[in-house]
Structure formats: C-alpha cells, structure tokens
Amino acid sequence: MYGDAVGIDSNSRVERVMMEASSGHLAEDVPHSQDDTLKLIENTVITLQNEIGDNKDVSFATMSRRNVLGIQTIKNKMTLTYTCVSPDGDFWEVYEIRNAQIPLNWRDIGHALKVLEMLATVYLELYHQETVSQQLRREKSGIVAVGEEETVRSRMGM
C-alpha cells in the first residue's frame, strides 16, 4: 500500500488514516487528482479487507462500525472521507464528511475555522475507532461471545 501519508494505529499497527496531496496550490493536474482519488479509495478498501480478513469471527455489527479515513488535498481544498463496509456487507461505501479551504494567506484566514473543524472531526473519529478496536479485541479473544450467524464470516459469506 502506498500513499503520501499514512496514519497507523500504534496498538494494532493497522492503517486508520490515508492522505493524498494531489496538486500544488497554483494549478490542478486533473488526471493526477482523479488517480489520487481512486488510489485513496483503493487503499482504504484494502485496509478494510485486510482487517476483515483478520477478524472473520467477530460480530459483523461491530466490524461494520469500522471506518478508514481518507484526506485528499487538491490545490487549496482539503476533503475528509471515510470508507466502510455496507450494512449488508456486499460492497464498500465512501462518504465525504467534511471539506475545507486551506487559507494560503492572511486575507483567507477566515477559512481556518473549517480546517480546525476538520481536525476535530478526525480526532473524534479516531477516538470512536479506538472503541471499535477495543470491542473487536474482546470479541476476537472470546471475552464477548458472538453467535455464528452474527459473525463477519457468516454475514459476508467467507
């Protein structure tokens, strides 16, 4: 897996945030931006696939709360997304959570609030993902029982 930046969970050594910087602030290279968007989606899906493969006997309901964040910058715009498994387990879903204009000069400093809101959203989502990780560890270790029909293996036909 490759990307401009990767945020790894220090406990599980699993990727939680992927980042792509697609264009400089002067001009957009549209084909490069499109390729980076696809790469970001592909990398977040691969991360989820790997984690699901390592957790086949945990609850599908718990695993469906797992999100991998993606951040892409194009010129002076930053977009935050998350990728997750669909509620029925048949495909992947990508959602845009927030976007912000990055202030490049003092005149645009008013846009800084949106950037700070995005950082707060990343922090809160990573905090939520840690609670998901704790529940996954409890289920995987057998501390929390999971019925066979409720498992990722059963729900996703693995």
Predicted pLDDT of residue 4 = 62
Mean predicted lDDT score pLDDT of the chain: 90
Residue 7 or 129, more confident: 129
| Average pLDDT value for residue range 142-156 | 95
Q: What confidence tens digit (pLDDT) does each residue in 93-147 have?
A: 999 999 999 998 999 999 999 999 999 999 999 999 999 999 999 999 999 999 9
Predicted pLDDT of residue 28 = 76
| Average pLDDT value for residue range 61-73 | 96
Name the band, by pLDDT with cuts 50, 70 and 90, for residue 23. Answer: confident
Predicted pLDDT of residue 15 = 79
Please state which of the ranges 25-39, 62-76, 77-91 shows the lowest mean pLDDT: 25-39
Predicted pLDDT of residue 54 = 94
pTM of the model: 0.89
Whether the predicted pLDDT of 157 surpasses 90: no
How far apart CA 86 and CA 76 sit, in angstroms, is: 31
Name the band, by pLDDT with cuts 50, 70 and 90, for residue 16. Answer: confident
DSSP string covering the chain, please? Answer: ---SEEEE-TTT--EEEEEEE-S-SS---HHHHHHHHHHHHHHHHHHHHHHHHH-TTSBHHHHTT--EEEEEEETTEEEEEEEEE-TTSSSEEEEEEEEEEPP-SGGGGGGHHHHHHHHHHHHHHHHHHHHHHHHHHHHHHTSS---GGGBHHHHTT-
Name the band, by pLDDT with cuts 50, 70 and 90, for residue 3. Answer: low
